[in-house]
Amino acid sequence: MALINKIREKSGWAVGAIAIGLGVFVVGGDLLAPNSRLMGNDATVIGEIAGEEIDYNQFDAAFQQLKANYENQVGRAANEGEMAMLREQAWNQLIFKVALEKEYDRLGIEVTEEELADMVQGNNIHPAVQQAFVNPQTGLFDQSQVIQYLQNLDQMGPEARPMWANFEEGIISDRIQTKYSNLLTKSVYVTTAEAKNFYKAQNSTASVKVLFVPYATLSDSAVEVSDAKIKEYYERNKELYKVEEGRSIEYVTIDVNASKEDSSYYQQEITQLAQQFANATNDSAFVYTNSDQPFDGSPKTPGDLPEQLRKQLPLQKGKVYGPYTSNGTMALYKVMDAKEGAESAIRASHILIRPEGDTPEAKAAAKTKAQDVFNQIKGGADFAQMATQHGSDGTASVGGDLGWFAEGRMVGPFDKAVFGHSGTGLLPNLVETEYGYHIVKVTEPKTKQQYQIAAVERAVEASETTRDAAYAIADELSGTSGSVEEFRENVANNKSLVKEEAKEIGKNNILVNNLSNARELVRWAYAKDTEVGDVSKVFEIGDKFVVATLTGKREKGYAKVEDIKEELTAAVRNEVKAEQIIEKLNGQKGSLDQIAASYGPNAMVKTVDNVSFAATSIPGFGIEPVAIGKAFGLKQGARTAPLQGLNGVLIVEQVSLNPAPEINDFSNVKAQLATMRSGNVQSNAFEAIKAKADIKDNRVKFF
């Protein structure tokens, strides 16, 4: 029975290992573009991969297996976000299975009966078999256990043989995938010439002098961009504007927040609880019965207490503090015990003055500044204001407050100085640490007091009456809006409503702006009968009611000019600006500095050292790969004509070239290039297979 359980376990491992192995085909992104075109009217067809329809039951079987494995690992039921992730994984597994298996068949990749036997009980045992059949005494693989198991399969019950068949199928699939992966990897070849070019690109540097005129120095309003120019630019750069399917909506959210009446009700209830809490003899049981949060009876230092209790220090044993209201929660705290612990805690503020360098001069300057600030505080200056003005760490924004902290938590000299101080107030001397010089003020004296607290916390929730009132607003908006125009007009007429917009939502999105778990809203936007201009029913998403109107549909392919006109206009405007700048620069004589002076104050000149030929950007000028390439093609002292760059117009002059050091052996470079290409070739192969498979994702109909 133990071996059967192991096979069941390893069978799941084999399937999972295949999925993990196949993952090498995808690098840096989703395995599947999430916005494929809807296809098919069959109620049970969830999509299509390489001409093969994927039935809902087929998808669900893959999903349920992943879900069961995941929930076994985390020890709880998957939440909505995790379910969406698991559905994506299930879909990706089907892509691998269908699309890649067709490729395996086309190439004739298979595992023979002899090879399978070799993997199970021969000389090349598969890792899954090795892990399943381990001798408990030695901890090593035991081949005799495999043979014994196979001989006794028919005596192990009706599930044993199908389970073994599934296990074998897993290791066969894994071996086929490994063969395909090796086939691709072995196709990688690097010539000596390629290695030389790669080496030179990585190790050659140049010093360049750059004249730069940013596009931003010309006013946008002074540049005319016609529709004809926009259309011409779009046609010339059309491949840059490929898009996936998308939906655009405008929507309104009506928050379901507790009303004043709701808060008053909770206030009365928790006030009554406070009296009962004070008289309770079993505090943990009282918390269990009356609190939204579990009982935590661990001892707490002042730094561990809620802020409301810290303001009441020292606390009295047996006393109930509260109720306190914070972030929609009402809380009562009962002090179960108060005693001294082994660890001291203290509250302090500081002002850190950091040296601007590691030199003795920098440290001396920092100390002088710290002493000056210290003297001002001693003279009556407000500590918090001085911390805000002079502090150089994250505490400056809160007046230098470090809060409560236990002894030993701070850097040595600081810790020693603070905990060596009695009472409160400004420490008499600066404290020097590895970070700089600290001016320190103890705001709460050190204490070893610890408290055991029982907390009753209640979330202040909206009543049914409040929820009904919020729903009525949403329902009226939905019911009285028959078009986008009516929706907008109704929102404008209700000052309590705020319209938001979400553009080009993908069909498998879970989030819509800040709305989490918004799948029902997305499914409505993609529904076959939802047209542009339609207004939705009321959706309940978290603690909000949502009403939306569909404002646009985008199909997979190329973006429409009108949809990206703003982006196109900016690109064309830069082209026009480049023409104007280049025209003014052309014909200018003299050095780059003289040309810049002649052009005007908007032209800047800078020398940049150690620019790599393999780089894509010039420090200080941004991404400009064309300019870098042209710079390395120049002779020393020569310069380019004015170039249209990404951020402005450049003239690049080569100051000096530092060729890569000469080497005779390029074997290491070849190996480096081969490794890089091996990783890319599998990713590129899968992308090509995926594109050829013409994947149609119709999951939005179901989830």
| C-alpha to C-alpha distance for 361 and 100, rounded to whole angstroms | 66
485-520 residues labelled b (16+ CB within 10 A) or e (exposed): eebeebbeeeeebeeeebebbbbbbbbbeebebbbe
**Which among 42, 2, 538, 536 is positioned nearest to 254, based on CA atoms?**
538
| C-alpha to C-alpha distance for 616 and 631, rounded to whole angstroms | 12
Asked whether 404 and 311 are in contact (CB, 8 A), the reply is no
Any idea which fold 205-241+565-658 has? Chitinase A; domain 3 (3.10.50)
In DSSP terms, which residues pair with 52 in a beta bridge? Answer: 49
Sole residue written with tokens 């929507």:
251
The CATH number, out of the four listed (2.40.50, 1.25.40, 3.10.50, 1.20.58), of the domain defined by the range 246-257+463-554: 3.10.50
Q: Which helix (H) or strand (E) holds 455?
A: strand 436-459
Angle at Cα 447 formed by Cα 441 and Cα 448, nearest 5°?
150
CATH top-level class of 258-461: alpha beta
Consecutive 10-residue averages of pLDDT for the chain (703 residues): 47 42 34 33 80 90 86 85 87 85 89 92 91 88 89 84 85 89 89 93 94 94 91 94 93 92 91 93 94 91 87 90 90 93 90 91 93 94 94 92 90 94 93 95 92 93 92 96 96 94 92 92 94 96 95 91 92 94 91 93 93 91 92 93 94 94 92 88 83 86 85
Question: What is the domain partition of the chain in residue ranges?
Answer: 2-185, 205-241+565-658, 246-257+463-554, 258-461
Asked whether 270 and 458 are in contact (CB, 8 A), the reply is yes
**Which among 379, 366, 373 is positioned nearest to 350, based on CA atoms?**
373
Asked whether 533 and 481 are in contact (CB, 8 A), the reply is no
**The pLDDT value given to residue 42:** 60
Q: Which helix (H) or strand (E) holds 675?
A: helix 667-693
DSSP letter (8 states) at residue 100: I
Angle, in degrees to the nearest 10, between helices 383-390 and 360-378? 150
In DSSP terms, which residues pair with 440 in a beta bridge? Answer: 350
Q: Alpha carbon of 684 to those of 181, 461, 473, 677, 679: distances in Å?
A: 12, 52, 52, 10, 9
Q: Alpha carbon of 316 to those of 198, 305, 309, 320, 404: distances in Å?
A: 74, 14, 11, 9, 20
Sole residue written with tokens 């109107």:
549
- 205-241+565-658 against 246-257+463-554: fold identical: yes
β-strands 320-326, 431-433 pairing = unpaired
**Type of residue numbered 342:** A
Asked whether 350 and 439 are in contact (CB, 8 A), the reply is yes
Q: Which two tokens stand for residue 151?
A: 């001989």
Q: Alpha carbon of 159 to those of 8, 133, 162, 605: distances in Å?
A: 10, 19, 6, 78
DSSP letter (8 states) at residue 591: -
| C-alpha to C-alpha distance for 287 and 63, rounded to whole angstroms | 40
**Which among 176, 171, 12, 27 is positioned nearest to 100, based on CA atoms?**
176
| C-alpha to C-alpha distance for 388 and 373, rounded to whole angstroms | 12
Helix (H, G, I), strand (E, B) or coil at 533: coil
**Type of residue numbered 84:** A
Q: Alpha carbon of 583 to those of 511, 586, 596, 642: distances in Å?
A: 48, 5, 14, 9
**The pLDDT value given to residue 153:** 84
What pTM, to 2 d.p., does this model score? Answer: 0.63
In DSSP terms, which residues pair with 652 in a beta bridge? Answer: 210
**The pLDDT value given to residue 27:** 31
Residue count of the chain: 703
Angle at Cα 216 formed by Cα 213 and Cα 217, nearest 5°?
60
**The pLDDT value given to residue 642:** 96
